[in-house]
Amino acid sequence: MFRKLAAEGVGTFWLVFGGCGSAILAAGFPDVGIGLLGVSLAFGLTVLTMAYAVGGISGGHFNPAVTLGLALGDRHPWGEVLPYWVAQLVGGIAGAAVLYVIASGVSGYTAGGFASNGYAELSPGGYSMLAALVAEIVLTAVFLIVILGSTSKAAPAGFAPLAIGLALTLIHLISIPVTNTSVNPARSIAAAIFATNGALGQVWLFILAPLVGGAIGALLWKHVLAPGESPGKIGQV
């Protein structure tokens, strides 16, 4: 169990450090940085690389909404859900803390949004709370369908991390302008802790919506898209 939790912590650390780090350090550097496409790819690559690196240990969730969805889809033991959530949160906060130390190494640095998520005045495009809620629920639901589908027995073996990483890239391409893209409560909490723009006051949405979306996606897969599917190895992604 310790190895599983350590793998989840390391994977979520990398997701927050790599994904949020690309947004904070490289998105607009110096005048023309990697932009929206680069940040989207960075988030996808964090999941892809760590899914291959430690997915065989913990299943490679790195996201409380994914853990919940896999439990609902009969792919993960319910007794491990809360420990996974704790490990993911600890790993995400550690990733954000290391990123803050690096980012603040520039004279006059202010954290500002710190790659946090938000709606209304904290949305990159000024989108409403309803728009943010719908986007996060729908995109997380689809993310779970991709995860469950690409790890099912009918899918080609060995390609799941590619499908999952590319799905997360596409999700960011769609929703960075809306919410700065969460679909992951651990990522949202970690960034909001260090933000100075009031993101903590909106983080409830980015906890609730991904969990609801993850549950919807898992139930759609289980009862509509793959009824009667025999689960593979418990916890494997």
CATH number of the domain enclosing 218: 1.20.1080.10
pLDDT over threshold 80, residue 175:
yes
Task: Quickly count: other Cβ atoms within 10 Å of residue 69's Cβ.
Answer: 31
Residue 227's pLDDT band, with cuts at 50, 70 and 90, is low
Question: What pLDDT is attached to residue 233?
Answer: 44
Residues 6+ apart with CB under 8 A from 39: 19, 22, 23, 26, 27, 172, 176
Tell me the per-residue pLDDT of 105-129, one tens digit each, with 9 for 90 and over.
998 889 999 999 999 999 999 999 9
Specify if 164 maps to a domain: yes
Q: Is the pLDDT of residue 31 over 80?
A: no
The domain tally of the chain equals 1
Mean pLDDT of 31-59: 93
What's the domain range around 93?
2-225
How far, in Å, CA of 51 to CA of 45, rounded? 10
Q: Report whether pLDDT(216) > 80.
A: yes
Q: For residue 154, is pLDDT > 50?
A: yes
Residue 111 belongs to some domain of the structure: yes
pLDDT at position 41 is 97
User: Which whole-number Å values give the CA distances from 178 to 75, 133, 175, 182, in the listed order?
Assistant: 31, 10, 5, 10
